Amino acid sequence: MSEIRDITTAKSGWEKINWVRSYMPVLNSINAEFSAARPFEGKKISMSIHLEAKTAYLALVLRAGGARVYVTGCNPLSTQDDVAAALASDGFEVYARRGVDEAEYEDHLKKTLSCCPDLIIDDGGDLTRLLHGECGDYTVNLIGGGEETTTGIHRLFARQAAGQLRFPMIDVNDADCKHLFDNRYGTGQSTLDGIMNTTNLIIAGKTVVVAGYGWCGKGIAMRGKGMGGIVVVTEIDPVKAIEAQMDGFDVMPMDKAAEKGDLFITATGCRDVIRSEHFEVMKDGVLLANAGHFDVEIDKKSLYGAAINVWERKPGITGCRMPDGRILNLLAEGRLVNLAAGNGHPAEIMDMSFALQAKCLEYLAKNGSTLENRVYQVPPEIDRAVALLKLSSMGVSIDSLSPGQEQYLKQTE
């Protein structure tokens, strides 16, 4: 029995789903393929991903492939209640409500797993964590799953290194058709979109401090610059720091950047990147936002602790008045601003990420019995097939090697 906010909002959820599906051509073609081949006939799939319209379409595609699908979110603030209602109205088991507390969030994850799934889709490792602990008994049918994001992958590799991984997982994040587009262009656009939506303030002329120059940070810095921001980058990796400097950004430690910034955006996957000594020197009115995995990149506990008053200035903006009168503004409670205060990545981007997830689950359903309990990369033929489908949907064609060129490239000298 689904646990959602309000089933009467299903119509608005369907409008959102029907809008995005017309901009997800790769998933549309997989939908047609799965409807005919039914690769998941009789299988149960549990998924924990940001529950919004594109994710709902992925759930529909998996069901078209024969699966019974159990759905929850992967962040208490990114669930869109009308989309959850749409899926529940159509026979899916959905356990998700926007704004639930930690206990209910955890309970929803467990309920999603209680069907003893054959396959999982995880985003950040919450399902995997439970299946290695409290929900260990729910692994009886488990073939394996796909992990969506960088931080989830780090945790899988840590578990594998400790010899503890109990089922095969596919590293969807590191496929080319995922991180090159989703992490970079998706996070770049949707993070600024979430910030602008929430604040209704301008980027042009602001000093935008981007912490972390990985795939997400690169996208945010690129889009911040494109909108007229003066972009500063902080890093801990010397190579990434050179890359940022040569891409035309100012690189400096957070201690220095803290004094300069008007808008701070973290995208590191690390913790306490912005902390008390930085809050002390920030300008009045600064905006603090996070685009990385979890709400620990900005040390909000210290921020709230140091403030003499913490209040909601408007939805999505927590004002923190410091003892000297300055106000520091934390967006979306320090959670992923693009999803907690926006719609996340655009449909055309999730088209590729979710096409990979769908094809990886099909791969697991076919080959699971031959796989070991370790982290696998996405098979290159799946990455290439997704790229070709995307390219053709964009009306772009490319050259191919002539036999002579192929031979030339294989020559030893």
Interior CA angle at 290 toward 209 and 55, to 5°? 135
Q: How far is CA 209 from CA 89, 120, 303, in A?
A: 43, 36, 18
Which residues, 270 to 289, sit near ligand NAD by CB under 6 A? 270, 273
Q: How far is CA 219 from CA 254, 298, 302, in A?
A: 19, 19, 28
Euclidean distance between CA atoms 213 and 235, whole angstroms? 6
357 binds ligand NAD (CB under 6 A): no
The smaller minimum CB distance to ligand SAH, of residues 188 and 261, is found at: 188
Q: How many CB atoms lie within 10 A of CB 322?
A: 17
| DSSP-H helix ranges across 114-175 | 126-131, 150-161
Residue count at the site for ligand NAD (CB under 6 A)?
28
Binding site for ligand SAH (CB under 6 A): 49-50, 52, 54-55, 74-75, 123-124, 148-149, 182, 186, 293-294, 336, 339, 343-345, 350, 353
Token code pair at residue 80: 């869109």
Of all helices (H) and strands (E), which one includes residue 288? strand 287-290
The backbone torsions φ and ψ at residue 72, rounded to the nearest 5 degrees and listed phi first, read -140, 175
Residue 214 interacting entry, from ligand SAH, ligand NAD, none, C-beta within 5 to 8 Å by type: ligand NAD
- We find the least distance from the C-beta atom of residue 133 to ligand SAH, in angstroms, to be 17
The smaller minimum CB distance to ligand NAD, of residues 52 and 118, is found at: 52
Token code pair at residue 149: 């994001």
Stretch that binds ligand NAD, among 10-18, 128-136, 228-236, 379-387 (CB under 6 A): 228-236
- We find the least distance from the C-beta atom of residue 73 to ligand SAH, in angstroms, to be 8
The smaller minimum CB distance to ligand NAD, of residues 236 and 322, is found at: 236
Q: Which residues contact 201 (CB under 8 A, 6 or more apart)?
A: 287
Binding pattern to ligand NAD, positions 165-204, x when CB under 6 A?
Answer: --------------x---x---x-----------------
Euclidean distance between CA atoms 350 and 327, whole angstroms? 36
Binding pattern to ligand NAD, positions 130-149, x when CB under 6 A?
Answer: -------------------x
Footprint on this chain of ligand NAD (rule: CB under 6 A) = 149-151, 179, 183, 187, 211-217, 234-237, 240, 267-270, 273, 291-293, 336, 338
